[in-house]
Amino acid sequence: MCILDVEASLEHFSQSKALHADTMLVVVEPYFRSLETGRRMVGLGKQLAPERLVLVANKVRDERELKAVEQLAASEGIAVAGAVPYDERLLDAERADSALLDFDPHAPAVTAIEELARELLATDGDSDGGVMPGRGALVRGAAELGRDG
């Protein structure tokens, strides 16, 4: 299993390392600008055609904000795989130079990411990761190293 934390900028996105992923998580905040960026990234993601393309809502404060992300997902025909609440503990952890998981294992954001992990595993169609055609060293290496067990 391999997790790529990809560069922020859109320019590097369309032809980048993300190409080699079988699952793409587009993280969005429930604000207009972030949602619009998310929509563009989903559009680029569709061109790359990963097996799974899903949204993850982050810093969600209430139902209304979650609805805004769900609306984007519905209009793009994709799922919201997880919703992580706005969590002050994350800022506290950063101030303490600590990972959230070490700082507060029971923080609401951790619980939500746990649910996201469960959801991703439950809907993983190809757990050995060997199907992607891929190109370049990254995907070959990742496929070899990513085999579970």
Partner 1 sequence: MKLAVVGKGGVGKTSISGTLARLLARRGHRVLAVDGDPNPTLALSLGVSPARMESMPALSSELVERTDEGYRLTRTLEELCASHSLQAPDGVTLLAMRPAQQAGTG
Interface residues with partner 1 (CB under 8 A)?
A: 1-9, 12-13, 15-18, 20-29, 34, 37-38, 41, 45, 50, 56, 58-59, 84, 90, 97-102, 109-110, 113-114, 116-117, 120-121, 124, 126-127, 129, 132, 136-149
Q: Output the smallest distance, CB 142 to partner 1, in A.
A: 5
CB of 66 to partner 1, least distance (A): 15
Coil, helix or strand at residue 51: coil
**Distance between CA atoms of residues 50 and 42, nearest Å:** 11
Task: Answer whether 57's CB lies under 8 Å from 28's CB.
Answer: yes
18 or 73, CB closer to partner 1? Answer: 18
When the beta carbons of 39 and 67 are compared against partner 1, the nearer one is 39
* CB 72, CB 65: distance < 8 Å: no
Complex with partner 1: residue 79 or 132, whichever CB lies closer:
132
Closer residue to partner 1, CB minimum distance, 78 or 90: 90
Q: Which contacts qualify for 71-77: CB closer than 8 Å, 24 or more apart?
A: 72/28, 72/35, 72/38, 72/39, 72/42, 76/39, 76/42
In the complex, the smallest distance separating the C-beta of residue 63 from partner 1, rounded to whole angstroms, is: 19
DSSP-based three-state secondary structure for 72: helix
